Amino acid sequence: MAPETADDELVVRAKAGELFAFESLANRYEKRVYSLALRMLRHEQDAEDVTQQTFLSALEHLDGFRGEAGFATWLLRIATHAALKVIRKRDGLDTVSLEAATESTESDESIPHPEYIADWSQSPGELVARNETRSLIEEALAQLDEKHRIVFLLRDVEGLSVTETATALGLSEANVKVRLLRARLQLRERLTTTLGDPASRIKQAHHHG
Amino acid sequence: MKCEEMLAMLNDYVDGTIDPSVCEEFEQHMAGCNPCQVVVDNIRQTITLYKNDQPYELPVRFKEQLHEALRAKWQEKFSTK
Ligand SMILES: [Zn+2]
């Protein structure tokens, strides 16, 4: 099967009982699902379990997939919910939403002020090709608090809207926005400390206007 | 507009959901404030970097296990139809 066969067509064939079409879809998206799960959960076995659950659930509910959102979006949504379930279980919060556990402290914290301000010495396109950049960005992501990391992953990496992210996490939209801002600022800080060009660094003292 | 206020509106600016009248003020500030300009650039680059990152590879053993599980489930699903 040509790699450019559209998802929609593969879905139609899979619904008609063609296993090969479904396996093609799995081959196409398993890395993305596994990566999302691993980034959310920071645990290989849990990420594998979530990946397997996601595809088994997709197979089971394929008839119910109407194609409004696109297959990839639908699949990632299943994966997100499966991963969140693991997180809630881990925290012993099966019956409470993430919001109830964490939102109360949110408004007390102030927004972190940028410290290390400098132009990056290379473009993201050049940087992403390098192995040391990849481990740097995964480390920076792993260092975020879970509540910030997950919002960043859903919103900026998977491209969910603020509303969709809020719904998936059981959070208010205002809360999603605050968490996203913190996540972005913290990642910016960590990456710029390493990727920033020291010669272009702007000292913080000049930044209070 | 002060740098602190810029920070609070950073998301809306980067995501293009900022109110047009505020946007003008935001851009005026950036034109005269290099640190804020650089922070906005950095944030955009940060997002791009994560979006374009190569995802993790499945362990080979797990990939085999996954596809075996899918085939087994498939048999079950279509044999009972
Ligand atoms: Zn400024």
d(CA B67, CA A48): 12
* Residue B72 near chain A (CB below 8 Å): no
Q: Let me know: does A208 contact B3? Beta carbons within 8 Å.
A: yes
Structure tokens at B50: 């994560």
Residue A138: closest CA among chain B residues belongs to which residue?
Answer: B50
CA dist A195 and A190 (Å) reads 9
Q: What percent of chain A has pLDDT over 70?
A: 88
pLDDT at site A123: 87
State the total domains in chain B.
1
Q: Which fold has domain A7-91?
A: Rna Polymerase Sigma Factor; Chain: A (1.10.1740)
B8 touches chain A (CB under 8 A): yes
Secondary structure class of A196 (helix, strand, coil): strand
Q: How far is the CA of B1 from the centre of ligand 1 (A)?
A: 8
Other CB atoms closer than 10 Å to residue A118's CB: what's the count?
18
Judged against a pLDDT cut of 80, whether residue B3 lies above it is answered with: yes
Those of residues 57-76 in A touching chain B at CB distance below 8 A are 59-60
Per-residue confidence (pLDDT) for residue A104, from 0 to 100: 47
Domain ranges (residues) in chain A: 7-91, 108-203
Residues B66, A49: Cα–Cα separation, whole Å: 9
3-state secondary structure of A202: strand
* Residue B48, helix vs strand vs coil: helix
**Residues A98-118, mean pLDDT to the nearest whole number:** 67
A67-71: long-range contacts, CB 8 A cutoff, minimum separation 24: A67/A8, A67/A11, A70/A7, A71/A7, A71/A8, A71/A10, A71/A11, A71/A25, A71/A29
Contacts of A149 (CB under 8 A, 6+ apart): A39, A40, A141, A142, A183
Q: Which pLDDT band holds residue A93 (cuts at 50, 70, 90)?
A: low
Overall residue count recorded for chain A in this entry: 209
What is the CATH code of the structural domain delimited by A108-203?
Answer: 1.10.10.10
**pLDDT confidence of residue A106:** 55
Sign of the CA dihedral running A196, A199, A204, B1: negative
Other CB atoms within a 10 A radius of the CB of residue A13 amount to 18
The ipTM estimated for the assembled molecules is 0.88
What separation in Å is there between the alpha carbon of A113 and the centre of ligand 1? 11
Residues of chain B with pLDDT > 90, as a percent, come to 78
Average pLDDT over residues B23-51: 95
What's the CA-to-centroid distance between A159 and ligand 1, angstroms?
28
Q: What digits encode the pLDDT tens for the residues A28-73?
A: 999 999 999 999 999 999 999 999 999 999 999 999 998 888 898 8
Q: In the predicted model, is pLDDT for residue A205 greater than 90?
A: no
- Predicted local distance difference test score (pLDDT) of residue A153: 95
CATH code for position B43: 1.10.10
Contacts of A164 in chain B (CB under 8 A): none
Which residues face A118 on adjacent strands? none
Contact A55 B46 (CB under 8 A): no
Neighbours of ion ligand 1 (CB under 5 A): A 209; B 3, 33, 36
Q: Is A145 left (phi over 0), alpha (psi -120 to 50) or beta?
A: beta
pTM of structure: 0.85
Cβ–Cβ contacts within 10 Å for residue A158, how many? 20
Are B53 and A128 within 8 A, CB to CB?
A: yes
Please name the residues in contact with B6: beta carbons below 8 A apart, sequence gap of 6 or more: B26, B29, B30, B33, B36
pLDDT in tens, A117-139: 999 988 888 887 788 888 899 99
pLDDT of A99 > 80? The answer is no
The owner of tokens 């619904």 is: A15
Range of the domain at B66: 3-78
Give me the mean pLDDT over the A65-88 stretch: 90
Q: How confident is the model at residue A3 (pLDDT cuts 50, 70, 90)?
A: low
What mean pLDDT, rounded, does chain A reach? 87
